Amino acid sequence: MSEDYRRNNANPILVEQMVLIDIRNMLQSMGKEIRSFPLPGIDDAYDDASGIPREIFEEASIDQHQEDVGLSDSLNEEQRAAYEEIMSKVDTEQGTSIMPGGRTAHSRFKIPLTLEDGGCCCSFTKQSGTAKLLQQASLIIWDEASMAKRQAMEALDNSLRDIMGQQDLPFGGKTVVFGGDFRQVLPVVRKGSRAQIVDASLRRSYLWESMHHLKLVRNMRAQSDPWFAEYLLRIGGGTEEVNGDGDVCLPDDISIPYSGDSEKDLDRLIECIFPNLNANMTNKDYITSRAILSTHNDWVDNINMKMIGMFQGGKMVYHSFDSAIDDPHNYYPSEFLNTLTPNGLPPHLLKLKIGCPVILLRNIDPANGLCNGTRLVV
């Protein structure tokens, strides 16, 4: 790690300090501290962020682009109403919790903090960098809150009350915005009938409509296709016509006929989603702007294997090394473990080619955008 620094610095002490600062930043991005490891200490004289938590130092050093500041002028009526209510709470430092069906941000937040489920805020001790960042943040945005467990929000509420020393105020007096759409989350009724699931869905929709929140219903991503935007809203609202089994019929112009031959049907689907793949596989925008979704992980793996086989060039094959701890009787042989694909882990047999898209499964370097769910190209 020191080779790059040695090219421009002859001072070995300075080089060592720069490497240690790099290691500290990487460890902090993963929720760890360099003091937990047997490494030399960092001299404050070489540390630009000395005494300042890494998260705050990085946020404070971000340049504000004028085009970002001017984005508020492009908001539609619903977005502007949400924006103005949120900003009024931020400007008056009047903490509250708000639940819009979308999100917007502005550079006049002192330190805007974005929370993602399972994201950066994993250490809430009062002296941690995260806690100090929370203390200075004017606004906390929790996107896709409808996907999070209730206990996670309660934990954040209790932690902020403790960190801010405001036990009687929700979230310690901080303005918290919960973004998400409950129409995207199906209700779960254990061993329930279809009628019970439909009833739970209707009750969920009623409760959501009755809550105090900022409602954003215009689909800004489908402005060029207003029919599809309205179609999605009808499905989400439960007003789209269904058959006797309660299933929605997809229009012919957005579906591919099923012939019964799974291989040919899959080839037809791939050609529809990725037309002229060989001619466009070096175009990163082409590769990362489209995807095939599936409801089963096994199907996803099969489609991935077929797609990678269609890419030109040589492939690299990576295998996992699976073993069970404390298994003297070999109840869990490697052959069995290799058939498993736990959530958040790649398959046992991972094939990659140059140009194929991948998705990160870990927060490798959040400060530089390498987070869980980031789409990349090999």
Asked if residue 270 lies in contact with residue 278, where contact means CB atoms within 8 angstroms, the answer is: no
Average pLDDT rounded to a whole number, residues 219-226: 74
**C-alpha–C-alpha distance, residues 355 and 358, integer Å:** 9
Which H or E element spans position 228?
A: helix 226-237
Q: At 351, phi and psi to the nearest 5?
A: -105, 130
Radius of gyration of the chain measured on its C-alpha atoms: 25
| pLDDT value for 101 | 46
Residue partners of 258: CB distance under 8 A and separation at least 6:
265
Average pLDDT estimate for 84-95: 77
- 52 pLDDT higher than 80: no
- Of 25-34, 181-190, 242-251, give the lowest mean pLDDT range: 181-190
Whether pLDDT at 165 is above 50: yes
- Which of 298, 291, 248, 249 lies closest to 269 in space, CA to CA? 291
What value, to the nearest 5°, has the Cα angle with vertex 373 and ends 369 and 378?
A: 75
Which residues make Cβ contacts (< 8 Å) with residue 187, sequence separation at least 6?
Answer: 197, 200, 201, 204
Q: Residue 372 above 60 pLDDT?
A: yes
pLDDT tens digits for 109-158? 455 555 544 444 444 555 555 677 778 788 888 888 888 888 888 998 99
How much is the pLDDT for 20? 92
Average pLDDT over residues 260-274: 89
Q: Is 254 exposed, middle or buried (0-12, 13-18, 19+ CB in 10 A)?
A: exposed
Rounded mean pLDDT, 306-322:
87
Calpha distance 33→292 (Å, rounded)? 40
Does the pLDDT at position 328 exceed 50?
yes
Distance in angstroms (rounded) separating the CA atoms of residues 231 and 135: 43
Q: How far apart are alpha carbons 196 and 199 in whole angstroms?
A: 5
More confident residue, 205 or 32: 32
Assess whether pLDDT exceeds 60 at residue 173. yes
pLDDT at 182 over 60: yes
Over residues 162-183, mean pLDDT: 86
Question: Which pLDDT score, from 0 to 100, does residue 232 have?
Answer: 82
d(CA 152, CA 243): 38
Calculate the average pLDDT of the chain.
78
**Alpha-carbon gap, residue 284 to 30, rounded angstroms:** 28
Q: Does residue 161 surpass a pLDDT of 70?
A: yes
pLDDT digits (tens, 9 = 90+) for 8-21: 888 898 899 989 98
Q: Are 201 and 187 in contact (CB under 8 A)?
A: yes
Lowest mean pLDDT among 50-59, 164-173, 217-226, 345-354: 50-59
| 43-52, 160-169, 244-253: range with lowest mean pLDDT | 43-52
The Cα 75–Cα 26 span in angstroms is 37
pLDDT exceeds 80 at position 333: yes
Q: Which residues is 377 bridged to in the sheet? A: 357
145's tokens? 């809150």
Q: Which element (helix H / strand E) includes 178?
A: strand 175-178
Residues 164 and 67: their CA atoms lie apart, in Å, by 34
Long-range contacts (CB closer than 8 Å, 24 or more residues apart) made by 224-232: 228/254
Tokens of 345: 């882990």
Question: How much is the average pLDDT of 89-104?
Answer: 59
Rounded distance, CA 112 to CA 134, Å?
9
Angle, CA of 174, 73 and 117, to the nearest 5°? 35
